[in-house]
Amino acid sequence: MIRTATVSFLDGSSVNVRILPFDMVCFERESKKPFASKDGEVFVEAMFKLAYLAAVREQTTTEPFDSWLMRVAAVDMVDDPKVSTPTESSNS
pLDDT in tens, 20-39: 999 999 999 999 988 878 88
Buried b / exposed e along 29-57 (16+ C-beta atoms within 10 A): eeeeeebeeeeeebeeebbbbbbbbbbbe
Q: Which of 15-29, 41-55, 68-82 has the lowest mean pLDDT?
A: 68-82
pLDDT at residue 72 is higher than 80: yes
Cα dist from 2 to 41, 45, 71, 79, whole Å: 15, 18, 25, 7
Percent of the chain topping pLDDT 90: 59
Q: Which residues pair with 36 in a beta bridge?
A: 42
Contact 57, 23 (CB under 8 A): yes
CA distance 55 to 24: 13
User: pTM of the full predicted structure?
Assistant: 0.79
